[in-house]
Chain A
Amino acid sequence: MSSLGLYNYWIVIALMMVGLYAVIARGHLVKKLIGLTLFQTAVFFLYISMGFVHGGAAPILSEGVAVYSNPLPHVLILTAIVVGVATTALGLALVVRIREAYGSVDEDELERMDSDA
């Protein structure tokens, strides 16, 4: 654990790219949302890795602990997670509506229907 170096960032990037791939390469809209969620989590990791301090403790003040990790990214990400799920729900609601309107949730089919109409 002592020589993380840039390793964390690379993991973040890898996860991010997996999410991005799911978003741009897959047709199913729910799958795209899953990809977005992965991407989102990668961003969370990025922030939390930034806030990490070696030998630090969780930012809850207690006796005899001198070094804490940075609380600011924690706050930002904490709210971002909840907001993230709310927006995901919005996206899913859209998917449900699209399904009801078009009878499909596949991007290609949707495009075809739109161009036909």
Chain B
Amino acid sequence: MLVTALFVVRTRDLLAATMLLGAYSLLSAGMFMVLDAVDVAFTEAAVGAGVSTILMLYALVASGRFERTPTRPQWLPLLVVLATGAALVWGTFDLPPVGAPGNPVHQHVAPRYLQQSGAEIGIPNVVTSVLASYRGYDTLGETAVVFTAGLGVWLLIGGLQRRGAAAPVLASAPHANLILRVVSKFLIPVILLFGLYVQFHGELGPGGGFQAGVILASALIVHLQVFGADQTRQIVPESLLRVLAPLGVLLYGGTGVAGLLLGGNYLDYHPLGRTPVGGQHLGILLVELGVALTVSSTMLLLCYLFAARVARR
């Protein structure tokens, strides 16, 4: 249905491709909604349409907008792609139909999550409880990956910032206009508030640390876009972000260690509270806080780094 329109997304020049990628991201988030994955839609909308588009734009500024016309023959990749696609389609005939409740996917651990988590963890959003509690190790790993990626980007393009003060381009705000400024000033607190709501409401409705982190970061990204990176740096200095990002991972890991010290397993939240359910609540709260810290500071750090790099050119 909707998705057929997406095919067209790819066949354009780069700036247009980036914009269309944003629209595509919104659209795919809509598809996730249709497929009942509210949390995923949340994340995809926040990440795909916001942060990812912005990073792509920065990279385009740094690397030139237009693609040269391809010189190599185009039929070979096309052939490879068609062959792979045909093989994959052939493979799908062995798959069970989408959406049947009896599919093997739904037989393994999912019923347990759905039936027990209400009693064991006591929060309505099963996605959050699986994310933060049942599969806490995974999420710890993912958080660490985000942090590591931020570190990698910093190592790659973060250095050399003191060499010469080139005329900043994107970093300054030469003619962001008045209306935009005023409305942004009004909106940024609202966005921050919404991020906090998502953070702490994540146990009841869609949301959680990852999404909240991205939303908080994007509030500051608006500030960066409208008022310029220099002003944003004054509010949230880069050094603070460099402290916050590892702090989030540490908070996550530390919660696990606290459980260990109090006589449970690693990342087992039961001992943290007086009752097991209370312990779960506290543990999830802390863990999500750690995730939000890491994600938001990493995302903002990425934007700072790219903005600085672009400005130096």
Contacts and interface: CB of A to CB of B under 8 A. Distances in A.
B41 to A, nearest CB: 9
Given A6-B97, A25-B77, A94-B156, A77 B37 contact: yes
A48 B81 contact: no
Interface residues of B, number: 98
A76 B7 CA distance: 26
A72 B113 contact: yes
Interface string B126-152: 110011000100110010011001101
Main secondary structure of the interface of A (DSSP, over half): helix
Main secondary structure of the interface of B (DSSP, over half): helix
B233 interface: no
Given A24-B81, A85-B48, A89-B153, A54 B99 contact: yes
A18 B24 CA distance: 13
Given A16-B88, A48-B40, A87 B59 contact: no
A92 B77 contact: no
Interface residues of A, number: 82
A58 B48 contact: no
B12 to A, nearest CB: 10
Given A34-B18, A85-B55, A70 B63 contact: no
Interface of B: 3, 6-7, 9-10, 14, 17-18, 21, 24-25, 28, 31-32, 35-40, 43-44, 47-48, 51-52, 55-56, 58-60, 62-64, 67-68, 70-72, 74, 77-78, 80-82, 84-85, 88-89, 92-93, 95, 97-101, 103, 105-106, 109-110, 113-114, 117-118, 124-127, 130-131, 135, 138-139, 142, 145-146, 149-150, 152-153, 156-157, 204-206, 208, 210, 213-214, 295, 298-299, 302, 305-306, 309
12 contacts: A6-B97, A18-B7, A30-B60, A48-B32, A72-B113, A73-B37, A75-B127, A78-B131, A78-B208, A86-B302, A92-B56, A92-B58
